[in-house]
């Protein structure tokens, strides 16, 4: 996605009048602004939403007697401006007037209308030449040249970029004023943050929260990496590393093994590449699988007892998800639009499904026959004993596309198409057509709830499913025999949603459940997501509630229970737009929750 830049420039030295006007527009529109006093004769104003609303410039121009110029770059594809004289539009320009469709319009742009600030004819000619040039690959470059000719300050930026700290090359940042005044809001945020810190300290002091760790500052790169961790089977210990995925050249990193109940931390005794993405132990702990990402699309199989890498499996595309087979002799891997069965300690690789849409989750049934996948947002069930395409379900139903694309989704019309084809084509080609229509349907269907996480209970009786709306639990026998698109759910619990301040433009609402875990001894499902809380569901009673909640605006993106049920681990990361908070790992004393 390209850049979105927007600014409004008033040719004036009258700061009080302009500021009062901006305050009035802010009150009437409910929008937020940044304003900076005159630089080279221009007072600059930056409206939120990347300054893309031309109505804001029009409102300001109507209230001040000065020349007002609004500049917009949309997605780096279009540069446009509107110039007002005494409240009336005097000139406008669009580098790509047909970009948004509609009737064909001229580009516009008359440099003579800028005589008030460009007295030299030479500069006006340079401006006209710039406006007449063919479309730029990146239109912000035209804006840069435009601003240079007119002397516009800080033109290639926007409210959101400035607020998020992208201020390199910004002139006189210390003189910027926010409208409306955010002093009270900032104080409320500081008080909330202080209360959150106090709560965390109390949890740590009471040994309820055993670890609250963020990535080390010296390891930070342009993007913050998620911690990679997993519990070691048989002991109350955690295996942890902080990747450096964007280091170049790639580096080697060491792993730490922590016994948090004894406050012990030791080197795990092996090193790996820095582009590690996830780690999984086999059920009995003899095998450790490490998945790499960020261009290094490999899976490593380690002998855990000997700390020795036994195999390395290469893939041609990024690895979406993987899981152990029921007997732990193989891995099911989603990569590059395929699902394959990879021998754990060998080279054999078997294609299970091809042309698979985006796969977010995958889990194997204990009976060894089935795998469940999150397939393009839908729930897919694949029978490993069959060559048939996966059974697909839309949790919460799916959009009815039969009227829009009857040749694919209307059963009667589809059957007529196949019948007509059978009269003219060999059976083999008819079968290909049938599979092609089915494949198109799988790619086009959009369920009402998107599958985010999947896990079977150890006895195989239930499938636990995290979706974009919450936790859904299915009775396995009923599910895989269901013939309806929206199968019956045994339990459903809405995901926790943070109480958001409507004035907080950076907050992202939602009930997504990103990860699930299962406490077999108590028959309790643990799950977490966008709301930041760890929730629970008792499968014997149907009761549910919140297990942990720190109040931090951080989503739970990964959750796991140690095999001995003593520790609960969570990965937490910011879900706020433009937030630069680094991810963190929290480990809880499960017995005290």
DSSP string, 81-136: EEEEETTEEEEEEESSTTTT-SS----B--GGGGTTT--SHHHHHHHHHHHHSPPP
Q: Please tell me the least confidently modeled range out of 257-271, 340-354, 578-592.
A: 578-592
Whose CA is closest to 567, among 342, 310, 261?
261
Q: Residue 49 has what DSSP assignment?
A: G
What pLDDT, on the 0 to 100 scale, is given for residue 100? Answer: 78
**Residue 580 clears pLDDT 90, i.e. is over it:** no
What would the pLDDT profile of 95-119 be if each residue is shown by its tens digit? 999 887 766 778 899 999 999 999 9
Higher per-residue pLDDT: 575 or 65: 65
Sheet (strand 177-179) strand order: 88-94, 78-85, 67-74, 5-11, 42-47, 33-39, 177-179
Higher per-residue pLDDT: 431 or 116: 116
Q: How far apart are CA 525 and CA 532, in angstroms?
A: 16
Q: How far apart are CA 255 and CA 240, in angstroms?
A: 6
**Is the Cβ–Cβ distance between 34 and 157 less than 8 Å?**
no
Count of CA atoms in the C-beta half-sphere (13 A) of 579 = 17
What would the pLDDT profile of 159-189 be if each residue is shown by its tens digit? 999 998 899 999 999 999 999 998 988 898 8
Residues 6+ apart with CB under 8 A from 101: none
- Number of Cβ within a 10 Å radius of residue 130: 16
Helix, strand and coil percent figures for the chain, each rounded to 5: 25, 35, 40
**Mean pLDDT taken over the chain:** 88
What pLDDT, on the 0 to 100 scale, is given for residue 405? Answer: 47
Residues 6+ apart with CB under 8 A from 540: 523
**Residue 442 clears pLDDT 60, i.e. is over it:** no
DSSP three-state, residue 168: coil
Whose CA is closest to 52, among 1, 8, 96, 20?
8
What pLDDT, on the 0 to 100 scale, is given for residue 411? Answer: 59
Q: Residue 412 has what DSSP assignment?
A: H
**Residue 61 clears pLDDT 50, i.e. is over it:** yes
**φ and ψ at 220, to 5 degrees?**
-70, 140
Taking residues 236-245, report their average pLDDT. Answer: 90
What pLDDT, on the 0 to 100 scale, is given for residue 408? Answer: 46
What would the pLDDT profile of 325-383 be if each residue is shown by its tens digit? 999 999 999 998 899 999 998 999 999 988 777 788 999 999 999 999 998 778 989 99
Q: How far apart are CA 273 and CA 249, in angstroms?
A: 11
- Number of Cβ within a 10 Å radius of residue 386: 10
**pLDDT category, 217, cuts 50, 70, 90?**
very low
**pLDDT category, 249, cuts 50, 70, 90?**
confident
Q: How far apart are CA 547 and CA 543, in angstroms?
A: 12
**pLDDT category, 417, cuts 50, 70, 90?**
low
Q: Which two tokens stand for residue 102?
A: 């509609």
Q: Which residue has the tokens 């720190």?
A: 550
Q: Which two tokens stand for residue 158?
A: 């926007």
**φ and ψ at 400, to 5 degrees?**
-80, 110
Taking residues 146-171, report their average pLDDT. Answer: 95
What would the pLDDT profile of 290-304 be if each residue is shown by its tens digit? 999 988 899 999 999
Taking residues 62-90, report their average pLDDT. Answer: 96
Whose CA is closest to 509, among 492, 529, 479?
529
**Is the Cβ–Cβ distance between 162 and 176 less than 8 Å?**
yes
**Is the Cβ–Cβ distance between 5 and 156 less than 8 Å?**
yes
Q: How far apart are CA 541 and CA 544, in angstroms?
A: 9
Q: How far is CA 149 from CA 76, 96, 172, 270, in A?
A: 20, 21, 20, 59
Taking residues 427-444, report their average pLDDT. Answer: 59
Higher per-residue pLDDT: 219 or 518: 518
Q: How far apart are CA 389 and CA 71, in angstroms?
A: 52
Higher per-residue pLDDT: 258 or 402: 258
* 561-562-565 Cα angle (round to 5): 85
Taking residues 259-269, report their average pLDDT. Answer: 91
pLDDT above 70: percentage of residues in the chain = 87
């Amino acid at each position: 996605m390209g850049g979105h830049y927007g600014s409004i420039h008033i040719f004036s030295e009258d700061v009080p009048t302009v500021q009062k006007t901006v305050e009035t527009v802010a009150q009437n529109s409910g929008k937020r602004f940044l304003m900076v006093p005159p630089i080279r004769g221009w007072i600059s104003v930056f409206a939120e939403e990347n300054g893309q609303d031309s109505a804001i410039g029009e409102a300001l121009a109507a209230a001040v007697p000065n020349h007002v110029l609004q500049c917009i770059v949309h997605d780096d594809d279009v540069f446009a401006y509107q110039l007002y004289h005494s409240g009336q539009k005097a000139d406008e320009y669009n580098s790509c007037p047909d970009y948004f469709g509609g009737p064909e319009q001229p580009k516009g742009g008359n440099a003579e209308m800028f005589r008030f600030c460009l007295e030299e004819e030479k500069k006006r000619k340079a401006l006209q030449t710039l406006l007449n040039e063919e479309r730029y690959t990146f239109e912000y470059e035209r804006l840069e040249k435009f601003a240079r000719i007119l002397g516009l300050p800080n033109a290639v930026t926007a409210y959101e970029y400035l607020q998020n700290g992208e201020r390199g090359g910004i002139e006189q940042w210390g003189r910027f004023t926010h409208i409306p005044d955010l002093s009270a809001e900032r104080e409320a945020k500081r008080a909330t943050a202080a209360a959150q810190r106090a709560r965390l300290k109390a949890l740590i002091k009471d040994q309820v929260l055993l670890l609250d760790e963020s990535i080390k500052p010296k390891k930070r790169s342009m993007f913050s990496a998620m911690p990679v961790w997993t519990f070691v089977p048989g002991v109350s210990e955690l295996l942890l590393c902080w990747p450096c995925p964007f280091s170049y050249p790639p580096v080697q990193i060491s792993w730490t093994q922590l016994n948090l109940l004894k406050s012990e931390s030791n080197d795990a005794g092996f090193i790996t590449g820095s582009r590690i993405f996830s780690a999984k132990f086999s059920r009995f702990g003899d095998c450790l699988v490490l998945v790499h990402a960020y261009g290094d699309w490999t899976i490593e199989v380690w002998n855990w007892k000997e700390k020795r890498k036994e195999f390395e499996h290469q893939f041609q595309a990024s690895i979406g998800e993987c899981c152990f087979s029921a007997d732990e002799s193989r891995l099911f891997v989603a990569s590059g639009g395929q699902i394959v069965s990879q021998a754990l300690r060998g080279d054999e690789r078997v294609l299970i499904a091809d042309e698979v849409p985006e796969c977010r989750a995958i889990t194997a049934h204990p009976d060894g026959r089935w795998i469940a996948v999150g397939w393009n947002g839908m729930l897919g069930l694949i029978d490993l004993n069959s060559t048939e395409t996966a059974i697909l379900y839309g949790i919460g139903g799916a959009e009815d596309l039969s009227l829009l694309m009857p040749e694919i989704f209307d059963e009667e019309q589809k059957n007529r198409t196949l019948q007509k084809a059978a009269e003219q084509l060999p059976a083999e080609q008819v079968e290909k057509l049938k599979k092609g229509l089915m494949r198109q349907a799988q790619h086009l269907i959009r369920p009402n709830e998107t599958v985010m996480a999947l896990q079977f209970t150890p006895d195989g009786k239930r499938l636990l499913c995290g979706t974009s709306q919450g936790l859904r639990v299915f009775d396995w026998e009923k599910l895989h025999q269901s013939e309806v698109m929206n199968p019956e759910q045994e339990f459903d619990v809405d995901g926790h949603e943070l109480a958001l301040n409507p004035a907080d433009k950076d907050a992202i609402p939602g009930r997504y459940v990103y990860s699930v875990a299962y406490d077999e001894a108590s028959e309790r499902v643990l799950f977490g997501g966008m709301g930041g809380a760890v929730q629970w569901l008792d499968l014997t009673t149907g009761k549910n509630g919140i297990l942990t909640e720190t109040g931090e605006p951080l989503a739970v993106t990964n959750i796991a229970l140690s095999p001995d049920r003593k520790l609960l681990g969570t990965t937490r990361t910011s879900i706020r737009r433009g937030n630069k908070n680094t991810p963190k790992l929290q480990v809880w004393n499960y017995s005290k929750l």
